[in-house]
Amino acid sequence: MKSAIKILKEQMQFFYLVRRLSVYELRSLTSGNYLGAAWEIINPAIQILIYWFVFGFGIRQKEPIGDIPYFQWMFAGILVWFFINSSVMKASKSIYSKIRMLSKMNFPMSVIPNYVIFAQFYPHLILIGLAMLILQFLGFPISIYYLQLPLYIVALLVFLFSLSLITSTLTTIAKDVQMFLQSVMRMLFYLSPIIWPPTLLPESFQIWVKLNPFYYIVEGYRYSLLGQGWYFLENPLYTLYFIVITALTLMVGSYLHVKFRSQFIDFL
């Protein structure tokens, strides 16, 4: 608890730095390509098309999900997954890969995973903007339900940061964690309501799939973008579950991070 408060204070105090550093991080990531940051859009676009082709066009034979056409349904959910996946993976190796460069700096180390996540956040915002634009023409115009979107965005950022405190610490200690995470994320992709609706599962199974906190976020995004209702109000217990999980993750993450951060450099 103590460490969690400490970490949160550090984030607030150095938020200016998080913002500035994330810009350089993004530049560093995209500097080698001719198209630069455009790849942050091109890549998702290609993936969306292939998933739509295989799952929507091929397997489901264009059959809608409930009363939502497959493409729109998948699109509204998958766009947040790109952000989730890249920030989980990049943040987990952030400390390990940057510590040499940053070891002697005037800011706390907990800022590192945070700015790496933020670097992924800008392309995500652009993607959301594009999605809103595209959905206008696909039968899902702007609605009052857009108002809940910032809620899920903030919830997701807090959760990703909390999670990154755990994963970045563990990755620094044992690099195997990165490999393990890769498999877990691949698994979660199929276990989240992204390319197929888990409502197809037997009733008793569905509750287990919902333990995955990303389920909540993906559905939240979908409800906002497609105007399906107020997700967090309609599922108060699930919202509570998400908050509890996030708080727990933050506490465990902060504890681990604070405990090990002075020794990170010795683990290289």
Partner 1 sequence: MENTVEVKNVYKRYKLYKKKSERLLDLIVPHKEYGEDFFALQDVSFNVEQGSIIGLVGINGSGKSTLANIIAGVIPTTTGEVTIQGNVALIAVNAGLDNSLSGRENIELKLLMLGFSKKEITEMEEEIIEFAELEKFIDQPVKTYSSGMKSRLGFSISVRVNPDILIIDEALSVGDKAFAEKSLEKMMEFKAKGKTMFFVSHSISQMKKFCEQILWLEFGVVKEYGKASEVLKNYESFLKEYQAMTKTQKKKYRTDALNRQSMKTEKML
Contact flag: residue 189 with partner 1 (CB under 8 A): no
Supply the minimum distance, in Å, between the C-beta of residue 192 and partner 1.
Answer: 31
- For partner 1, the binding residue among 61, 100, 137, 203 (CB under 8 A) is 100
Q: In whole angstroms, how close is the CB of 123 to partner 1 at the nearest point?
A: 17
Contacting residue, 12, 32, 61, 207, with partner 1 by CB under 8 A: 32
CA 5 to chain centre: 23
Does 146 contact partner 1 by CB under 8 A? no
C-beta separation of 252 from 229 below 8 A = no
21 binds partner 1 (CB under 8 A): yes
Answer yes or no whether residue 17 interacts with partner 1 by CB under 8 A: yes
Residue from 106, 137, 204, 237 touching partner 1 (CB under 8 A): that is 106
Q: Least distance in Å: CB of 245 to partner 1? A: 25
Q: Which of 5, 46, 49, 105 binds partner 1 (CB under 8 A)?
A: 105
Alpha-carbon span 185 to 171, nearest angstrom? 15
Q: Does residue 185 interact with partner 1 by CB under 8 A?
A: no
Tell me which stretch binds partner 1 (CB under 8 A): 25-33, 47-55, 68-76, 222-230. Answer: 25-33
* Total number of residues that touch partner 1 (CB under 8 A): 23
- Cβ–Cβ < 8 Å for 25, 90: no
- Is 204 one of the binding residues for partner 1 (CB under 8 A)? no
Give least dist CB 128 to partner 1, A: 27
Nearer to partner 1, 103 or 206 (CB): 103
Q: Assess 13 for contact with partner 1 (CB under 8 A).
A: no
Q: Measuring CA to CA, which residue among 2, 175, 17, 247 is closest to residue 109?
A: 17
Q: Please tell me whether residue 27 binds partner 1 under the rule CB under 8 A.
A: yes
Closest to partner 1 by CB, 24 vs 146, is 24
Report the interface residues with partner 1, using CB under 8 A: 17, 20-21, 24, 27-29, 31-32, 100-107, 173-174, 262-263, 265-266
